[in-house]
Structure 1
Amino acid sequence: MTGVALVATIGITTQMATMAPSSAAETTACATAWSPTSVYTGTDVVSHGNENYAAKWWTMNNEPGADAWGPWTSQGPCGTGVPTPEPTDTPTDTPTDTPTDTPTDTPTDTPTDTPTDTPTDTPTDTPTDTPTDTPTAGTGTPWTSNPDEKCRPDGLYQTPGIDVPYCSVYDEAGREKLPNGLDQRVIGYFTSWRTGLDGTPRYLANDIPWNKLSHINYAFAHIDGNNKVSVGAENAGNAATDMTWPGVAGAEMDPALPFTGHLNQLEKFKKTNPGVKTLVSVGGWAETGGYFAADGSRVADGGFYTLTESQAKIDTFADSAVEFIRKYGFNGVDIDYEYATSNTKAGNPDDFQFSDKKRAVLFENYMHLMETLRTKLDKASAEDGKYYMLTVAAPASGWLLRGMEAHQVVKYLDYVNMMSYDLHGAWNNYVGGNAALFDDGKDPELAAGGVYNAYKGIGYLNSDWAYHYFRGALPAGRVNLGVPFYTRGWTGVQGGTNGMYGSSVLADQAKCAPGTGPSNGGNSKCGAGAVGIDNLWHDSDPTGTEVPSGVNPIWHVLNLQKGVVGDYTASYGTPAEQFTGSYSHNFDAVTKNEWWWNDTTKTLLTGDSDAAIQAKADYVADQGMGGIMIWELAGDYSYNSTKGQYEMGSTLVNKIHDTLSKSGPYGATKANVPMPTKAIDLDVQLKGFALGDNNYPINPELHFTNNTKTAIPAGATITFDSATSDTGEMKEQSGWSITKISSDHTGSNVGGLKGDFHTYSIKVPAGGIAPGATVNTKLAWTLPTSMISNFRVAIGSETYALLADYPRGVTVVEPSAGTGGGNGAGPSETCTGATAWDATGVYTAGALVTYNNATYKAKWWNQNDKPGSSATSAWGDAILCK
């Protein structure tokens, strides 16, 4: 999230502006292209998919890169591997606001030059098994006997063997039951540090507009030295559980509770607002890789980066999360991990020592964390008879998401809160909107990086693009749009329209904040961030020096617009005499960017006030999204007519509530077309993503595992959807004959993407997919998409859904034997003499082995070539035995 007295950046996204590698692919020429009909020996080098490979032994028709244990060794990228024209400049947009007295979530996800090293320190105790525990397939049976299955949201993971009480939170359409007349969520982050004890305006639980919200996220808890969830309750006087506000009306403690502080207040107000849910948010910008000790110093112990190294640590954390929400009355857990991405120098610069060297395993370990949390929360839900939620604050940056694979983690989540703000900031010199809703084809950071030319005119620094990214894997109603009740800003801006899309360069680049500008290894310069009266909620670095970032609550910016110096400025150390010039309000009709421009000081401040908030509330309603998430509630405003100034209030929340209480039910289904009511247990996983900036084009393996008792025949058609966040030019590289069926959007995304999905189909190749077997192909696309979904498998006259999509209301069946292309595994053969496959064994053509409950026949000499890993390997697909 965002954290700090100002930094508001819940998920901060810092945008890098190009997704294509900028240097690593420019040095090596590509060898002769690999041919499936040629024979190669241990002296041969070939190229395939803009990468050179060296043969380890004799091989034919074994695709380079298809199998990590196969006969090819990667020699690294070759050629350019990028579309024409290639982006030429990689901006290094990295926020670096570091808190000193309060947690400050500030973006630092800065794109850099293409990485040239691959981390080798993979933890030895890192969990390696990817969860595949889908419900067991039967014949014409319901997926589960859980009576609350009818209330489970579409696509939500179901912990096997647990009767989760979904109906305590969701209705029979799988939609969340919301309070206060809302059709869509209004989620507000309530921070721990605005206590008022330092003389600055306070924001307490009694200031929250409880009758307008659906959820309140308490920010932040952290991971303590024992790998447990903590709010520092052991420290005397801590704000969460050991603070009081004598004489403040409405802030009286509930004497029935054994703790005081913010958590006492939240529980007190929930009693009179029983429909409002509270979640504890763990992490944030400053506490993803460490935590704050009792004396205010930061303990840099690795936080999430080291917690997820082992299942034992993950179990300890998940157990403590359950204990914590039971003890303090929360309805769930919100994880704000910034960030589990394979990109280098992504996140808080203080955490690079942990994140960079572990980037090869961060997302896989994140998957284990979220599966474990989901499982333990489901078990606790069943025990307690009330459902506990699991949510995340997720980045909206295309660069960060490209390093987070296909975001397979979303199946474990009730919903995603997109951190769709901090899309621009003084971490670089490109002046743009804090939180654009739409692209207009003119974003200077994207233009400088060649993004528009490289990606068919699609720009990805906007909320609409990020929404469609997640929409590819989730129902619209499980995605919430994040909005900033704060600004970011620059000074000394040159050019642009009233500063917007201009440039602001810090004069002395040697003074750039850590993680920005030249210090981050990129090509961009750091910007001249606004300071003083234009940086009211200023962050400080570890030495107490102000970090220039232009972060202000909306109520302060409205006073600047009005020409008023608020009576609170002195308490923030901002002398009134700093006020110079006037601030004009601006709003762009295409992007919905809102900003304030001081032509005297050449200062631009950008954030969401009335115009942007109304546009976004309308957008959420129109798209059927889950709702709006707010960072943070203390930035909202009201007008004090007695003082003649704007102050903390709830005007913007009221505006959101007014719109989302009249919008109608949110979208509750993943697919936009009717899905089959019969489902088969064919598991789907995407694996083998390249790291960080090397993940271009995005080129993973698509694995299918047949958990049924019946072969999936050759020629069976598998249809699926992919998000329109990509350009719609997906390729398939192993002969499965991909066909694009339709696209809901083509062309640029100026003014917004027009639909949700590109729809493709592929054909199961010769040999089919035998029971228990895994086969795979490789796909390639350019811009990030979340997990491909809405699978439909056509066999003969029948079409089936897949349990891998976690659909609602399906009957689990065995697939029909079908004809379409054969019986699915070739002719039956006598399998006498088959032995268990041995990685050290040497096999020649015709040899029979068993592996993973299936039988395979060698096509040629091989060693250490895992059966079932690829249809083009030495073993091909499983065979049928007489």
Structure 2
Amino acid sequence: MRSPTPSRRRPVAAATAVVLAASGLVAVAAGQTASAAVECADPWAASTVYTGGDIASYDGQNWTAGWWTQGEAPGSSAWGAWTSDGACGTSTPEPTATPEPTAEPTQEPTAEPTGEPSPEPTTEPTADQGEPISTNPDDVCRPDGMKPTAGVDTPYCDVYDADGREILPNGLDRRVIGYFTSWRTGANEQPSYFASDIPWDKISHINYAFAHVGPDNKVSVNEDVAGNPATDATWPGQEMDPSLPYTGHFNQLAKYKAENPGVKVIPAVGGWAETGGYFDGEGNRVASGGFYTMTETQEGIDTFADSVVEFIREYGFDGIDIDYEYPTSNNQAGNPDDFAFSEARRGELFAGYIDLMKTLREKLDVAGAQDGEYYLLTTASPSSGWLLRGMEAHQVVQYLDYVNLMSYDLHGAWNEYVGGNSPLFDGGDDPELAAGGVYTAYDGVGYLNGDWAAHYFRGAMQSGRINLGVGFYSRGFQDVQGGTFGDGGRAPAPAGFSCPAGTSGKCGYGADGIDNLWHDTDPQGAEIPAGANPIWHLLNLEDGVVGDYAASYGVPTTIEGSYERHFDEVTKNEWWWNEATRTYLSGDTAQAIGAKADYVVDSGLGGMMIWEFAGDYGYDEAAGQYGIGSTMVDLMHSKLAGAAPYGATKANADRPMPDQALDLSIDYTEFALGDNNYPIAPKVVFTNHGATDIPAGATVSFQYGTSDLGEMSDWSGYGTTTTRQGHTGDNVGGLTGDFHDAEFTVPTGGIPAGGSITNHLKWTLPIAQFSNVIVTVDGVDYATTYDQPRGVTVVDLPAGSGSGGGSGGGGGPADGTACEAPAWVAGTAYTGRAAVTHAGRAWTAKWWTQAEPAASADAWTDEGSC
């Protein structure tokens, strides 16, 4: 076993050969000579910096660099830094030297050789010998629960250690991820934020916002448009790396990344404004369909994924971040500008999202094996229980390195209910939830807070692959009625106010003017009131300082009343209240950020994600005001650099997982559309891919997140029940456990080899999916390949396991008792597990039904002929 180290890179040519051999594509070209006249230079390595004139070998050729380059594979771009010098080395491998024996043989042969070949072994391997879940040598570094791409030696150890934890820079034990936006370039004399302003020595990852899905279904930053900020722009005082063939933000990000090894730079695709369209080179939004239409076909997905690989290689990025807002089946979710595309496709969006992430994972893994480095696949996810209800079971987590929770924008002027932008915990009195009857319906559990969202994902993946999102900006209201210093009050829009699209004319009265510095505009150029401000502006308002930047944003330069800061110790919500204008502005300073960093440490989460860097603050003594700084990032670093390593296993210590696994998969099917998904009642399919039946009477137990109430049951007659609740009661101040435990008994007929059973389950609040599945047969526990566990051996059950021996579902029970059941009678109501005979076969009801067995197999299990 090789020792995984941060600097290790697999030789590219060797990685390519592995992939090609696995796909059957290795061949010697016609006319190729046995050897080339030129010796191969040292193999190209993605981590090495090459300058003009340097030579490296790659894919059987020598290449010369034309200029400074790092991470660009030779030949990957027609306009790249590398020029081929022709074939090198030899196509016929030198024989491996046979070592000399260390000693003379100690024993003479016991018989003369017969001249016959040695016989093949007379026995097959026993079932309990099994095989590993992956033969990739780097599987030791694969994160628990991440699905390996079949036939590919993905270089996990490039990024992960032998415990499956990401190797982080700058002394960090947890991630500090920040979004760097393309548009804060000092236009109109507004404060700028460039790559040079990023606190590179305090962070782990940078997400560039934003790339988009182009009209050809390829990832784009308008790089073909002159003057685009990503690849063709310069700014006074911002030094470019002259060795790169492009300028702009990508040049500066590459330059500073080279100076700060270990910090990963990842482009984010989509976002609110560019999920269903894109901004062209003139800054005009084109409603093209974006993610909504690209994911309709596998051809569109393949085009996009292939372009992502090319894009990453061309600009030396470390992966891709998908900000698809939102692939949910809830009506009128996401940007109203996208409704023409999203509304008609609600029932198909999440299936397309799964196909997209699966394809990206596979193509990134293949590219990573070829390039000798690992490419990350991440996503930004909503945190609202309403949106997640329409995202089914979150069946993409197996393809992700981590998920960034957008645990902000939880309240805002899209309705009149005044609450925090980014509460960490529920307080039991969220005004929006209370008005909607949520507390009454769900035993007091509130789902508009970061803790609930973290537990939603914890039910499907280890805590270390979950990052808590924090906002370095505010949202707010004016003319607030009631509440505690406005918090929990109402701010209905006044008569005659024009509500934004998508609010059904029932919006709130968002703060405007000097209380809305970072405001958006409508298609007519008018300000959209939302109380959106960088945190440094809020601190100036608190000090009664207008700020010398205010006029550049086109807002008033006078302050009415005074702003008083408040902090709620339960929810960790921080806000400012202006009694004179009855204005409420909610945003996080170091007090709230510190509490959230402590939560990340204590709960084992992977880190924190920031929207966006430019909202952080520092005090300018000379100017007498707050401005852009790094106070909150510095605080995050100080807390997360001293933390223990994050949680790296899906199961907690109180549920030891077996080291032998059955090849069992689980699929979640037939969800109702989001607004009708009450209760949540999919048909969950358990498929046995092994060579031996899983017999009737076996127990399937699993865990699911405490984001739900812990009252799971079924309509199948399998007796699904929650055996242990990880949390009960309300979630004021946070949920107290990670998992509920549930189980059911495999019904008559078992789960045949190559076959499946369907359990029609139901639960209440959204869960991401099941985890830590154990199948128990004859008192022996087995894990399953469904969980994509590390370090397990995949086995088949011994023949004859179980009391029924695994009948396979077609021959009836061994004792024939089902054939003695009464005949089915039309019009009779049968409940789950009721047995009948009909049309020469035995049947068992899965749930309450009056349907004829032969005509409605969905409600009946066929037990075989009688």
TM band (smaller chain): 0.7 to 0.9
Give the alignment partner of residue 544 of structure 1, picking from 525, 533, 536: 525
Give the alignment partner of residue 643 of structure 2, picking from 644, 663, 667: 663
Aligned to 1:434: 421
How far off is 1:826 after superposition? 6.5
Distance 1:527 1:797, change over 3 A: same
Q: Indicate whether 1:209 and 2:199 are aligned.
A: yes
Distance 1:433 1:829, change over 3 A: closer
CA root-mean-square deviation: 2.0
Q: Deviations over 1:657-709 (max 9, x none)?
A: 10001111000000112110001101111111000110000001111111001
Give the letter for the 2:440 counterpart.
N
- The answer (yes or no) to whether the contact 1:139–1:814 under 8 Å persists in 2 is no
Q: Secondary structure at the match of 1:539?
A: coil
Distance 1:710 1:506, change over 3 A: same
Normalising by structure 2, what TM-score? Answer: 0.80
Distance 2:627 2:737 in 1: 40
- The answer (yes or no) to whether the contact 2:134–2:148 under 8 Å persists in 1 is no
Aligned to 1:390: 377
Task: Give the aligned length.
Answer: 707
Give the letter for the 1:876 counterpart.
D
Give the alignment partner of residue 412 of structure 2, picking from 425, 444, 447: 425
Distance 1:682 1:554 in 2: 50
Q: Deviations over 1:47-85 (max 9, x none)?
A: xxxxxxxxxxxxxxxxxxxxxxxxxxxxxxxxxxxxxxx
- The answer (yes or no) to whether the contact 2:810–2:864 under 8 Å persists in 1 is no
Q: Indicate whether 1:306 and 2:293 are aligned.
A: yes
Q: Deviations over 1:707-733 (max 9, x none)?
A: 001000001011100100001111111
Aligned to 2:768: 786
Give the alignment partner of residue 226 of structure 2, picking from 236, 240, 245: 236
Normalising by structure 1, what TM-score? Answer: 0.78
Distance 1:827 1:294 in 2: 61
Aligned to 1:12: none
Give the letter for the 1:178 counterpart.
L
Give the letter for the 1:787 counterpart.
Q
Distance 1:259 1:561 in 2: 43
Q: Secondary structure at the match of 1:186?
A: strand
Give the letter for the 1:576 counterpart.
T
- The answer (yes or no) to whether the contact 1:559–1:565 under 8 Å persists in 2 is yes
- Matching of residues 471-510 of structure 1 within 5 Å: 471-508=458-495
Aligned to 2:361: 374
Distance 2:165 2:251 in 1: 30
Give the alignment partner of residue 535 of structure 2, picking from 531, 554, 570: 554
Listed as ranges, the gaps of 5+ residues in structure 2 are 1-126, 813-836, 843-850
Give the stretch that moved more between structures: 194-203 or 584-593. Answer: 194-203
- The answer (yes or no) to whether the contact 2:209–2:268 under 8 Å persists in 1 is yes
Aligned to 2:729: 747
Distance 1:502 1:861 in 2: 56
- The answer (yes or no) to whether the contact 1:770–1:877 under 8 Å persists in 2 is no
Q: Indicate whether 1:650 and 2:642 are aligned.
A: no
- The answer (yes or no) to whether the contact 1:795–1:816 under 8 Å persists in 2 is no
Q: Indicate whether 1:415 and 2:382 are aligned.
A: no
How far off is 1:245 after superposition? 1.4
Distance 1:536 1:763, change over 3 A: same
- Matching of residues 788-803 of structure 1 within 5 Å: 788-803=770-785
Aligned to 1:862: 854
- The answer (yes or no) to whether the contact 1:436–1:591 under 8 Å persists in 2 is yes
- The answer (yes or no) to whether the contact 1:437–1:616 under 8 Å persists in 2 is yes
Aligned to 2:89: none
Aligned to 2:155: 165
- The answer (yes or no) to whether the contact 1:457–1:747 under 8 Å persists in 2 is yes
Aligned to 2:593: 613
Give the alignment partner of residue 683 of structure 2, picking from 701, 706, 721: 701
Give the alignment partner of residue 187 of structure 2, picking from 194, 197, 216: 197
Aligned to 2:52: none
How far off is 1:198 after superposition? 2.6
Distance 1:611 1:223 in 2: 38
Distance 1:647 1:761, change over 3 A: same
Q: Indicate whether 1:568 and 2:555 are aligned.
A: no
Distance 2:352 2:375 in 1: 22
Q: Secondary structure at the match of 2:448?
A: coil
Q: Secondary structure at the match of 1:361?
A: helix
Q: Indicate whether 1:455 and 2:442 are aligned.
A: yes
Listed as ranges, the gaps of 5+ residues in structure 1 are 1-136, 520-524, 831-842, 849-858
> Larger radius of gyration, structure 1 or 2?
2
Give the letter for the 1:742 counterpart.
R
Distance 1:738 1:827 in 2: 20
Percent identity between the two aligned chains: 61
Distance 1:818 1:493 in 2: 70
Aligned to 1:289: 276
Q: Secondary structure at the match of 1:198?
A: helix
- The answer (yes or no) to whether the contact 1:240–1:260 under 8 Å persists in 2 is yes
Distance 2:446 2:800 in 1: 44
How far off is 1:845 after superposition? 3.0
Give the stretch that moved more between structures: 818-827 or 189-198. Answer: 818-827
Give the alignment partner of residue 348 of structure 1, picking from 325, 335, 340: 335
Give the letter for the 1:161 counterpart.
G
- Matching of residues 798-877 of structure 1 within 5 Å: 798-817=780-799, 819-825=801-807, 845-846=839-840, 862=854, 870=858, 872-873=859-860, 876=862
- The answer (yes or no) to whether the contact 2:711–2:721 under 8 Å persists in 1 is no
- Matching of residues 320-331 of structure 1 within 5 Å: 320-331=307-318
- Matching of residues 104-115 of structure 1 within 5 Å: none
Q: Secondary structure at the match of 1:359?
A: helix
Distance 2:862 2:136 in 1: 40
Q: Secondary structure at the match of 1:216?
A: strand
How far off is 1:819 after superposition? 4.8
- The answer (yes or no) to whether the contact 1:846–1:860 under 8 Å persists in 2 is no
Q: Secondary structure at the match of 2:532?
A: coil
How far off is 1:735 after superposition? 1.2
Q: Deviations over 1:1-48 (max 9, x none)?
A: xxxxxxxxxxxxxxxxxxxxxxxxxxxxxxxxxxxxxxxxxxxxxxxx
Distance 2:372 2:809 in 1: 52
Aligned to 1:624: 604
